[in-house]
Amino acid sequence: MKLVFILGDQLSHTLSSLKGCDAEHDLIFMCEVNEEATYVKHHKKKIAFVFSAMRHFAEELKQKGFQVEYIKLDDNGNTNSFSGELKRALEKYKPESVILTEPSEYRVLKEVEGLQKDLDIPVDMRPDDRFLATKEEFAKWAQGRKELRMEYFYREMRKKYNILMDGDSPQGGNWNYDSENRKPLKERLNVPDTYKGQVDDITREVLDLVADKFYDHFGDLEPFFFAVTRDQALYALDKFIDERLCFFGDYQDAMVQGEPWMYHSHLSLYINIGLLNAMECIEKAEAAYKQNAAPLNAVEGFIRQILGWREYIRGIYWLKMPEYETENFFGADRELPWFFWDAHTQMNCLRQCITETKENAYAHHIQRLMVIGNFALITGLSPEEVNEWYMIVYADAYQWVELPNVTGMILFADGGVLGSKPYASSGSYINKMSDYCKSCRYKVSKKNGPEACPFNYLYWDFLIRNHDKLKNNHRLGMIYSTLHKMDKEKVEAIKEDAERFFRALENGEKV
């Protein structure tokens, strides 16, 4: 008998470890463990989502005729760690070997490898073929390149899978249609609601468990509306393709107060956990283009996120771990402000994005990048604390995707492996792409003084503070030449405003 160990983000019926599984003789093993729910104190909605999706998946496997041992969190004897539970299962069933699809995170991979040595049992660790580029393929692409830019990797992936191709050329003549994308939401559009599922008995039991055991974790547990089965996730995918994809490109960067979902897909949590397959999302979007149901700028933009960014991010993670975890190019060490947890800040953009994160365990990319991330970058927050926060608060967070996005994309803490320049910006970008500034206590048009938008002076202060590290970055040449032309009084005013802001933060005042 073989034991197939399935982890909580491996809920795919086509998983490599399930290939060849013998329903009569083999045993599928899954376990809920406290260690996974608390190594960072995940958002309550995320834990409920993972446990409910795991329980539904186990039921589906049983209905298909497989033998499944499923350990619930509050089952008697649960040792609450993967190692402890696997050891118990091995003692109980004495299988001849363990089959496992490789864990998505370095931490868990090392734990399983350690266990394999300790227990001296053959482990058949199979590649995770749900990803579209293998680790080896990415490493080969990266080898010898001066710069690892996503755009070039993405073109290789388009060719490899023949997606949006016209022979050897990209559909429509361009690889990328971003110049047609990223409009602010001017007129009030009727943004459709996101997928909202019913709570069934399995989910109800999980919600009660999470409310009881993880009451002190961040975030609102209810209302709970995520899809927790493959059928529900497929419905959510179709809903996106039918209702939102056509505007995905146009409003990809737009932020509107009271509209957390915009025209994004809200599929990352389902893809990351295995309920949806990345390629089926890409194929459905391409089919919508072929049927004239969505324009090329929207479809290409969406496909680039999955076939390009998602795979590239995972490639960087495995290329750079474990060193990537401790990168800190700027030597940033400021503590995370308390308002990251309770949204009590007068900066309306941050208040809106953090409140929505707390309610939904979701914020869209530009909120994560240009509002929260931008603030973390220009105020010099500690990469360790920022990474922990992002791992906690989003339902789609796993280290393989969270870490490169935070350390590389927002904090530039890797010194430019992932991005060619830091994504720092003043309040004018937020004002252009959102309606947040209209209801803010600060004035985005003011550059200095207590009424000024803090992003305005913190942006310049960041460039001044990190001059030595950034002065040779050719993409910042124009900005530094503007800075060098600024008169002394202006530079002093920027520094004084930033100092006052940091002092207020340190004193726990509401900024």
Cα-based angle 438, 443, 446 (whole degrees, multiple of 5)? 140
Binding residue (CB under 6 A) for ligand SF4 from 15, 262, 437, 458: 437
Our CB check for ligand DLZ shows the closer of 105 and 253 to be: 105
Q: Give the one residue of 305, 407, 425, 456 binding ligand FAD; rule: CB under 6 A.
A: 305
Q: Which of residues 90-109 bind ligand DLZ (CB under 6 A)?
A: 103-105, 108
Contact 448, 497 (CB under 8 A): yes
**Considering only 144-152, 215-223, 227-235, 448-456, which stretch makes contact with ligand SF4 by CB under 6 A?**
448-456
Whose tokens are 């990809």? That residue is: 252
Which of these ranges, 29-37, 66-74, 302-310, 349-357, lies near ligand FAD under the rule CB under 6 A? Answer: 302-310
Binding of residue 268 to ligand DLZ (CB under 6 A)? no
* Closest residue to bound ligand DLZ by CB: 8
The smaller minimum CB distance to ligand FAD, of residues 268 and 277, is found at 268
Q: Decide: 309 and 271 in contact? Cβ < 8 Å.
A: no
State the binding partner of 401 from ligand SF4, ligand DLZ, ligand FAD, none, CB within 5 to 8 A by kind. ligand FAD
Q: Is 130 in the site for ligand FAD (CB under 6 A)?
A: no
Query: Tokens in use for 6?
Result: 């399935």
Does residue number 37 form part of the binding site for ligand DLZ (CB under 6 A)? yes
Q: Provide, rounded to whole angstroms, the least separation between the CB of residue 396 and ligand FAD.
A: 4
Question: CB 438 → ligand SF4: shortest distance, Å?
Answer: 8
Tokens 């479809």 -> residue: 299
In this complex, which beta carbon is closest to ligand FAD, that of residue 86 or of residue 354?
354
Residue 223, preceding peptide bond in cis (omega within 30° of 0): yes
Closest CA to 358 of 233, 211, 260: 260
Q: Which is nearer to ligand FAD, 266 or 358 (CB)?
A: 266
Q: Which range touches ligand FAD (CB under 6 A), out of 19-27, 128-136, 266-274, 486-494?
A: 266-274
Query: How many residues in the shown chain lie near ligand SF4 by CB under 6 A?
Result: 14
Residue number with CB closer to ligand DLZ (110 or 438): 110
Question: Rule CB under 6 A: which of 348-377 touch ligand SF4?
Answer: 348-349
Strands (DSSP E) found in 160-272: 165-166, 169-170
Tokens representing 26 are 């083999």
Q: Sign of the CA dihedral 255, 261, 267, 272?
A: positive
Distance, first Cα to last Cα, the chain: 61
* Closest of 369, 392, 378, 367 to residue 217, by C-alpha: 392
SS3 254: coil
Residue 444 near which of ligand DLZ, ligand FAD, ligand SF4, none (CB within 5-8 Å, type-dependent): ligand SF4
| Out of 229, 268, 379, 434, the residue judged to bind ligand FAD by CB under 6 A | 268
Which tokens hold the place of 430? 């937020």
Distance separating alpha carbons of residues 8 and 103, to the nearest angstrom: 10
DSSP per-residue letters across 44-82: HHHHHHHHHHHHHHHHHHHHTT-EEEEE-TTSTT--SSH
CA angle 32, 364, 360 (to 5 degrees): 45
- Choose the binding region for ligand FAD from 39-47, 107-115, 348-356, 396-404 (rule: CB under 6 A): 396-404
7, 27, 236, 354: which one contacts ligand DLZ (CB under 6 A)? 7
* Closest C-alpha among 22, 18, 35 to residue 85: 35
Residues between 328 and 347 with contacts to ligand SF4, criterion CB under 6 A? 347
Q: Is the peptide bond before 454 cis (omega within 30 degrees of 0)?
A: no
Give the residues lining the site for ligand FAD (CB under 6 A). Answer: 264-268, 271-272, 302, 305-306, 309-310, 313, 364-365, 368-369, 373, 390, 394, 396-397, 401-402, 405-406, 409-410
Binding residues for ligand DLZ, rule: CB under 6 A, are 7-9, 31-33, 36-37, 42, 47, 50, 103-105, 108, 398
